[in-house]
Structures are given as C-alpha cells and as structure tokens.
Amino acid sequence: MLKRCKFIVHYVSKFNVFEQVRYASQILPQFSAEKYNVKRKNFSNVQAADVSYFQSILGNDRVLTDRDEVLPFNIDWIRNCRGQSQVVLKPKTTQEVSEILAYCNKKRLAVCPQGGNTGLVGGSVPVYDEIVINLMLMDKIITLDEISGALVCEAGCVLENLDNYVRGHNLIMPLDLGAKGSCQIGGNVSTNAGGLRLLRYGNLHGSVLGLEAVKADGTVIDCLRSLKKDNTGYHLKHLFIGSEGTLGIVTKVAIHCPVLPKAATLGFFGIKNFENILELYKSAKSSLGEILSAFEMADNLAITQTVKNLNLPNPISDYPFYALVETHGSNEVHDGEKLSNFLNKEMESGLIMDGTVTSDPAKMQTIWNLRESIAASSLVGGYVFKYDVSIPQKHYYDIVPMLKQRLGDKASAVFGYGHIGDGNIHINISVPQYTKEVVSLIEPFIFEEVSKLKGSISAEHGIGFRKPQFIHYSKEPSALGLMRDLKQLMDPNGILNPYKVLPETN
Ligand code: FAD
Ligand code: MLT
Ligand code: ZN
C-alpha cells in the first residue's frame, strides 16, 4: 500500500555534504593542460605591471595572487580539471568588468569568467594561466516587479539567495538545481542551466527577459529590458545565454519569476522496469496536466549508492527504478484530487509498486535532497566520468546497459538518472582511477551512440573544456562555422575563455 511519508526527517545541509565530499581528498588533480595534452595559445603572460593595474582598479583586496588563495578557483567541482592561473579578480561593478576586459584585450591577456564554479564540464576554471574573473561580489538585487514577476539583479547573486528573496514576495525562481546553494545566476544564464523543473517552467531562453553583458573589448551591451515582448531587431540576449563565457561576461540579468505555488506535493515511487517509468510519465502528463512540475527518474544504483555514500535515508525500500513526481498548483483540494486519482489508477495498474507522497515541506526537502545528492555521492572514492545527454525518451536508458557491458569490471559503477520529462539522462561511470584505457572505452563510443539515437551530447551542462572535440556529434559544420564567425566578431583576439566550447581547427 502507498504510505504517507513516515521516515524520520534527517535534514543534511547539502552545502556541507558537497564541501565535505569535495575536500575529502587532499590529492590535487593533475593540470588539465597535461592531462588532456593542450597546447598553450599565443597569449601574453601576466606581468607585475598588469597586477598593479588591476590593483589600481579594484584595490589590493580584490586581486588575489597568493597561491593558496588562488588554488580553489583553479579546480572544478568534480576535481577533474585544474588550471594554472596566478590571478583572481573580483569586480564589484560593470564598469570594473569593462575596464578589466578592455585592458586584457589590449594586452592579449586571456581570461576565464567564473561564477559559483559548480560547472561540470571544466568550463569554469582556466586551462593555463588565464586570469579568473569571479563575479561573486556582484550580488545585488536591483528591482523586483511583483506584478509582472520581473526580477533584475547582478550576475553574481547565488540562485538560492534569489529564490529565498522572491519567495518573500510570493514568487519563485524559474529554475532549481542541486547546486543552487553555490551557483550564480550569471553562471546559470551562461550555461543555460536546465535543472529539476524545466519541464514546467521552461528553459532560460524563455525566462530571461533581458541582460547586460560586457564584450571582450570592454563594450557594455545593455539589453537589460524586463519586457515579455520586445521585437526590436535581433534578440541579442540569446547570444549570451548558454555561450559559457566565450562571447562576453554577463553582469546583470532580468528574469521572469513564476508565482509561488499555493499547493505542492511530491511523490517518490518504486518502479519495476524502465518501460514502466515511461508509461508512468505518459500517465502523469495526462492525469496531472498543468500541475505537473517535475518528473525525475533514477535507477537502483543511483539511489542506493547515494544512500550509502552520504548516509541519507531512502523513504521506500529497494526497487529497480525510482520516479519522483512533483506537482505545483494553486488549489490544494483540486490538486490533491488529481494526484490521488493518478495514484489510485497507477497502483492498481501496477506501474507504481510502492511509494510515498507528501506535501510536508520538510519531508519534500528530504526526498529532493536524496535526488539532488546523487551528483555529490559519485565523488566519494575513485574517479567519476559524468555524461549529460538528451535522447528521445523511448531510448533514454539504452546506453546504460550498453556501457555496463562494454566496461565490465573496469567500472565500479555505471548508473543513470535525470530529468526524464526533458529526455535528459545523466550517466555516471565510477572507476577506481582515471586511466587512458578507460577513457578510450567510453569516448567517443558514448557520443557515437547518442548521435545514432539523434540525441544531443550535452543536454544542460554545456560543452566547456571537456567536450569541444565532440561537438560535431551534435552540430553540423555549417552551424559550427556560424559559431566561429560570431566568436571572431565578438572576441577577435580570443581572450574570453579560450580552449572552451569551440574545437581547435587544424
Ligand atoms: P560556473 O561553474 O562558475 O561557470 C560555468 C560556465 O559559465 C563557465 O564556462 C564560465 O566561464 C561561465 N560563466 C560563469 N559566470 C559567468 C558570467 N557571469 N558571465 C559569463 N560567463 C560566465 N546544471 C544544470 O543545467 N542542471 C542541473 O540540474 C544541474 N545540477 C547540478 C547539481 C550539482 C550538485 C552541481 C555541482 C552542478 C549542477 N549543474 C546543473 C551544473 C552547474 O551547476 C550549472 O551549470 C550552473 O549553471 C553553473 O553556474 P555557476 O555559477 O557555478 O557557473
Ligand atoms: C543533476 O541533475 O543532478 C545534475 O545535472 C548534476 C549531475 O549531472 O549529476
Ligand atoms: Zn541535471
């Protein structure tokens, strides 16, 4: 029988878990340039006079040069990539960003824009000695229009802080992700982050109303409008959404915030096989309609290893697959009726084997915490290869068993989870240690299979440093050519986030 949530709420601060996991190992990752055999491009080296110039704009405190202080800005969240930057700059205003970029462009100094450094494709850290420009001090909320829901803020605002703020005004942020406690809205926009409720609230190309960005030569591009409709020429904001810091630095964002739902409910269900996950999704769409706000899936290993590695509670017992179904609506009675009809039907049909439903915020949080912690749990012990692909739903899970078979005992775990409503599966492969032999078994095999299935090699995390050489599996030569033309136009000296997104031409 379906039971109400009855496990003890065991709230674990996500941030603490992540930080504990990240710094559990004191071994520094290998330099990306060596690990991936990258040749340094022809940029200038940072000189003492450059540091003095930055200090004259920012003051000494906002120019970091101490090795220990700079180190965390050189290492990415999964501790796979490590850059060799010697300077981190922390601007507080758009004017400062503009002056820094104008100077770097003139001097041919390469830069790496950085937000919360939670990116998963190595785009947020330097490869060689690019100067890190971290936006963390640009964290002011500028305006909130409670009628339209338009929030205007600086790019360094942490997503969770923005969500807490707008909730106080009966609104929510249109995106939510496990890294919300650290990622910044500028980073979210620059990666076109998807997350847990894209199914309901759409992607950032729809939610971002306007933005301000600084081009490589220091020109400030002001597209900071809060209008829903504005067809005055080219929609330039879209160039910056998802361009991963290669076309400009986003400094301000105007974003549409949906209304805080009056009623929210979460179900966590045990499912017999992947086919039944798909059937349940179809049924949820038709029974829950407009109140469906998230439909996530995880296989058995994704959940059991998260429970084990991070000592988190699983509210139900062991099942081959799990589905997490959330509703956001405006009428508790109406929504409750819809949800219970759906549940009764699907328990009877056998699609749901067991589960728990709750609208208690603390219990919902505990279930979400289990789902959102899968990423952090994979960092415990060994090395993890992470893939983030989208595939037409009927073939969504095909690659997981394929990879299991291909890797055999070379992998300690291969598992899949993700945003099935968006056709986006995350495939994690844990190995005792990174070796070239394992890499050659996985890449480009995985991208070839995704391409055969007419999928995308990156559904939401982006191309960053790790995938430019595979972008052709998802982008035609003509489209790649136009991307190069845009890069050349907007950043002719290539100083913005080099070695990222665009593949080398040779
Ligand atoms: P960073 O990691 O600092 O940077 C990411 C990229 O954006 C880099 O290329 C960087 O150069 C560029 N950049 C950052 N700020 C700016 C700026 N102001 N201007 C120009 N360029 C900039 N992603 C999803 O899409 N969906 C998820 O569900 C999701 N869940 C996650 C869960 C966890 C636990 C973790 C660790 C990550 C997750 N991610 C997810 C990936 C990551 O959090 C997102 O990509 C996020 O949007 C990155 O934001 P950030 O501020 O940390 O950016
Ligand atoms: C998620 O959905 O949990 C994230 O995108 C992070 C991950 O890939 O693990
Ligand atoms: Zn995701």
Tens of pLDDT along 168-194? 999 999 999 999 999 999 999 999 999
Going by C-beta distance under 8 Å and a sequence separation of 6 or more, which residues neighbour residue 260?
A: 166, 167, 170, 171, 172
| Short-list 257, 144, 138, CA closest to 186 | 138
Q: What pLDDT, on the 0 to 100 scale, is given for residue 26?
A: 63
pLDDT band at 493 (very low <50, low <70, confident <90, very high): very high
Q: Please provide the average confidence, as pLDDT, over all residues in the chain.
A: 94
- Report the distance separating Cα 224 and Cα 153, nearest Å: 10
Nearest CA to ligand 2 atom 6: 375
Ligand 1 atom at minimum distance from 185 CA:
51
pLDDT of residue 289: 95
| Helix ranges restricted to H, 8-109 | 14-24, 32-35, 48-58, 67-74, 94-107
Q: Please state the atom number of ligand 1 nearest to the C-alpha of residue 134.
A: 15
Q: Relative to the CA of 375, which ligand 2 atom is closest?
A: 9
The CB density around residue 197, as the number of other CB atoms within 10 Å, is 25
- Ligand 1, from 32, 81, 118, 389: best to mutate by most atoms within 8 Å of Cβ? 118
Q: Domain 381-490: which CATH class?
A: alpha beta
Domain 31-134 has CATH 3.30.43.10: yes
- In percent, the amount of the chain with pLDDT more than 90 equals 91
State whether residue 360 is helix, strand or coil.
Answer: coil
| Rounded Cα gap, residues 87 and 495, in angstroms | 15
What is the secondary structure of 318-338 as a DSSP string?
--SEEEEEEEEES-HHHHHHH
Ligand 2, atom nearest to 418 Cα:
2
Which H or E run contains 415? strand 413-419
Q: Is the pLDDT of residue 459 over 60?
A: yes
Residue 17: pLDDT band by 50, 70, 90 thresholds? very low
Same fold across 31-134 and 381-490: no
Tokens of 25: 């190992």
pLDDT over threshold 80, residue 121:
yes
Q: Is 45 exposed, middle or buried (0-12, 13-18, 19+ CB in 10 A)?
A: exposed
Contact 190, 250 (CB under 8 A): yes
Looking at residue 503, what is its pLDDT? 97
Say which residue the tokens 């100094």 belong to.
Answer: 109
**How far apart are alpha carbons 182 and 139 in whole angstroms?**
12
Q: Which atom of ligand 1 is nearest to the CA of 189?
A: 47
Tokens of 483: 């991307």
* Greatest pairwise CA separation for the chain in angstroms: 73
State the DSSP code for 469. Answer: G
Residue 504, judged by CB atoms within 10 A of its CB (0-12, 13-18, 19+), counts as exposed
Q: Closest ligand 1 atom, CA of 115?
A: 3
Q: Which of 138, 160, 191, 251 maximizes ligand 1 atoms within 8 Å of its Cβ, making it the mutation to test the pocket?
A: 191
- Return the half-sphere exposure (C-beta side, CA atoms, 13 A cut-off) of residue 238: 7
Six-digit token pair at 357? Answer: 């439903």
* Those residues with Cβ within 8 angstroms of residue 504's Cβ, 6 or more apart along the chain or in another chain: 468, 469
SS3 content of the chain, % helix, strand, coil (to 5): 40, 20, 40
Residue indicated by tokens 């009675």 = 333
Give per-residue pLDDT as tens, 25-35. Answer: 568 999 999 99
Q: Which ligand is nearest to the CA of 248?
A: 1
Q: How far is Cα 263 from Cα 281, in angstroms, rounded to an integer?
A: 21
- pLDDT tens digits, residue range 236-268? 999 999 999 999 999 999 999 999 999 999 999
The Cα–Cα gap between 113 and 101 comes to: 11
Distance 260 CA to ligand 2 centre (A): 24
User: CA–CA separation, 37 vs 436, rounded Å?
Assistant: 12
Best residue for ligand 1 mutational test, from 13, 76, 124 (most atoms within 8 Å of Cβ): 124
Ligand nearest to the CA of 422: 3
Measured from the Cβ of residue 42, the count of other Cβ atoms closer than 10 Å reads 9
Report residue 313 as tokens.
């509670």
DSSP-assigned letter for residue 423 = T
**Nearest CA owner, ligand 1 atom 13:** 187
Q: Are strands 111-114 and 131-134 parallel, antiparallel or unpaired?
A: parallel
> Domain 141-256: which topology?
3.30.465
Per-residue pLDDT reduced to its tens digit, 78-108: 999 999 999 999 999 999 999 999 999 999 9
SS3 253: strand
Ligand with the closest atom to the CA of 124: 1
Cα 270 to Cα 272: distance, rounded to the nearest angstrom: 7
Domain range list for the chain: 2-19+262-375, 31-134, 141-256, 381-490
CB atoms within 10 A of CB 354: 15
* pLDDT tens sequence across 316-374: 999 999 999 999 999 988 888 888 889 999 999 999 999 999 999 999 999 999 999 99
Query: CA 248 to CA 243: how far, in whole Å?
Result: 8
Q: How far apart are the C-alpha atoms of 168 and 491, rounded to whole Å? A: 40
Task: Enumerate residues lining ligand 1, CB below 6 A.
Answer: 77, 112-120, 123-124, 135, 155, 177-179, 183-184, 186-188, 190-191, 193-195, 244-245, 249-250, 375-376, 460-461, 464, 497
Are β-strands 88-89 and 131-134 bridged in parallel, bridged antiparallel, or unpaired?
parallel
Residue 268's closest CA among 325, 340, 319, 317?
Answer: 325
Indicate if the pLDDT at residue 19 is higher than 60: no
Cα separation, 495 vs 131, whole angstroms? 10
For residue 10, which amino acid is it?
Answer: H
Q: From CA 71, how far away is CA 69, in angstroms rounded? A: 6
Alpha helix ranges (H) inside 158-263 = 159-167, 185-191, 198-201, 204-207, 237-240
CATH code: domain 2-19+262-375 is 3.30.70.2190
> Which ligand has the minimum distance to the alpha carbon of residue 176?
1
**What gap in Å lies between CA 108 and CA 85, rounded to an integer?**
15
C-alpha span between 44 and 493 (Å, rounded): 11
Under DSSP, the state recorded for 224 is -
